[in-house]
Structure 1
C-alpha cells in the first residue's frame, strides 16, 4: 500500500493540472506527470499505469471542450478511436518484451524533428491544406500505430498524432489539435487496460490527479480555441523539445 503525505499529494495534483493544460494544447503531459510520480517513490511500471488513469481524464475533457466549440465531431471519430484503443492495448501488453531501448534512442530525434517542423515550416496556421492520404488509410495505419506506441511507451504520443493530422491529413493546427484529443483519450484507456493486466495502478491517487487534469485541460483547450495556432505552435515546439531533452538526459 503506497501512502502519500498531504504536501506530496498537493504537489502531484499541481503537476497534473499543469500536465492537463499542456497536453490539451500540444501533447506531452506525461513529460510532467511520469517523472513526478517516479520521484514520489512509485515503481516505474506502477507509475506508468497510474499515469494512464489520470491522463485519460485530461484528454477526455479536452476532447469534449473542442467538440463543444465546433472543432471536431466526436461521433465521426469513433472508428479511429477504437483503432487507437486496440493499438494501445497491444502496446501495453508488449511493453515488457519489446526492445524499447531502441525506441527510446530514436524518440528524441523524432521529437526534435517535430519541433523543427512546427517551428520553421512556412504556412502552418489554422487553415486546412491538401490531404496526402485518404481518411480511411490514415485511420487504419497511422492511428493504431501511434496508439500502439502510446501503450508501449507514451511520451510524445499527442505530438505524433498532431504531426500526422497536419502533414498527412492536411488539417489546420487548431483542427488537428482538436482531433488528436479523442484518439489520445482512447489510447490512454487502451494503455490502462493493458497495464491493469501487468501492474496495479494507484487508483485513488490517479483519480485525484485526474480531477486536476480535467481543470487543466479545460483551461488549456479553452485558450487554444480562442487563440489557435499562435498559442498551439509555440507550446508544441517547447513541449517536444523539453521531452526530447528529458529523454536525452536519461541516457546519462
Structure 2
C-alpha cells in the first residue's frame, strides 16, 4: 500500500500561524521534502520536530519528484513544505502533486497561510472574484502577453513581486493597465507588515519622493477594469465609424437589415430609432 503525500502550509512570517495539524503531520511522516532545508530547519527546530528532510526545489523538481513518488509507492508518508506559505502556490510542489496523481498516490492538503489570500482580504478590493497571477513571467514576450490579457480583466488581480523588481513591474503595469487603484502589501504577518492603499503611479511616486528602496516580499492587489469602463471603450471603438458604415459592417455579413439595426444600436448604446433615422435619410 502506497503512502500519502501531505501538502503542509507553513508560516509566511509569524511562526504562530502554523496549525496544530501541520505540526503533528510533520512529526509523524517518514520524510519532509523542503524547498530549502537550511530555511526549514529553523522551523523544525522551533517546534522540536526531528523528522529527516530532503531538498525539493525548482532545479531538481522533475527528477526529485520521481524519487519521492518511488518512496511513496514503497509505503512512506511524505510531507512537502515550501519556504513560506502553501506548497504548490508559486513553488515546485505543483510538479510533485501532478506526478503523485498520475501514480495514483493520495494527496492530502493541510491548509494554512497563503500570502495571496491574506493580501486580498486586507486590501479593501472586491474579494468575490479575483485572479492570481503570482510572479509575472521573466521572459519578455510571455510577460507582454500576460499583461495584455490583464488589460481587460474585470476581476481583482493579485501579483507577487520581489523587492528588486517591484518598481519595474509597477511601471509595466501602469503602462499596460492604466493608473489603477492598488493595495500594496509587504512583509505579511511579520513585524514590519504594511498595507498601503494607493494607485500604480502612487507606488512609483512613494518610492521616488521618499528615496526609499523596496524591501521585503510584496503582494500587489489591483482593481479590475469596471464593466462600465469596458462598455464605454467598446462604444468608442464603434464611434470611429459612422452609423451607415456600422450598418454596412453587418449587412456585408449577410445579416438582415432589421437585425443589423438592432445590433448597431446595441453596439453604440443608442436607440434603434436613431439608427433607423440615419438609414432613412440615406435612402
TM-score norm. by structure 1 comes to: 0.23
Greater per-residue helix proportion: 1
Greater per-residue strand proportion: 2
Q: Relative contact order (C-alpha < 8 Å, sep 6+): which is higher? A: 1
Bigger Rg over Cα: 2
TM-score norm. by structure 2 comes to: 0.21
